[in-house]
Amino acid sequence: MTTATDLTPAPDPGRDDVPVLEDVPASPVRRFWAVRRIPAALLAALVLAGTGLLLYDIAAVRADRTAMAWRRELADGLATRPLDDAPIIGGAVLAVLLGLWLLVLAATPGLRAVLPMRRAHADVRAGLDREAAALALRDRAMEVSGVQSAKVRVGRSKAAVRAVSHFRALDEVRADLETALAAGVDELALAHPPSLDVRVARPPRKG
């Protein structure tokens, strides 16, 4: 009679089985889409008002009442005015511009002020405001020796840093800034880290 031997290794009590960020498979990260409540509410209100007014006038005509003056004038104008008339061309241009604006709103994500962050879980999304990212990088820049003041502007693909150094060589300050800011950008955990554009200058002379 033979007995099977369990060759499964015993769990190591010193090993941490909790997955870290590097162990989690990367998920595709997309930009945040704006809800655009104001354009949607305005368009819905206009469509509702126009549709309600038209249905009321049609119901009034069906009830043997006279159609509203605006609809009679509109029908007469469309029947008698030529297509190259200025008011008709202006209305057509306005309708085209409004349609293009709505198409742009529907096809673009918006929320340019929110930068998507790396995803540790597929069902969790996080974003970082550009101003908050700029403030964090500015604090990093102010920690560098020789930096008197710093201005940081964070975009979708680039972080522009303008620093003023009142002592030390500018090349050394710039190198330290690039190193510190690169670490700061990595700590922001952005899905698409912006590239750095660092410039250092001397303070303006007084008088």
pLDDT at 3: 45
Q: Which residues of the chain have pLDDT under 50?
A: 1-9, 11, 14-16, 18-25
User: CA 88 from chain center: how many Å?
Assistant: 37
Helix axes 86-107, 37-62, angle to 10 degrees: 130
User: Which residues fall within 8 angstroms of residue 176, CB to CB, at 6 or more apart?
Assistant: 144, 145, 146
Q: Is 117 helix (H, G, I), strand (E, B) or coil?
A: strand
| pLDDT tens digits, one per residue of 44-68 | 898 899 899 888 888 888 888 887 8
Q: Which two tokens stand for residue 105?
A: 């709103």
User: What is the pLDDT, as a whole number, of residue 169?
Assistant: 92
pLDDT recorded at residue 19: 45
CA angle 66, 68, 70 (to 5 degrees): 145
Give me the count of residues in the chain.
Answer: 207
pTM tops 0.95, yes or no: no
Cα 54 to Cα 51, 133, 145, 192, 193: the distances in Å are 5, 51, 71, 50, 53
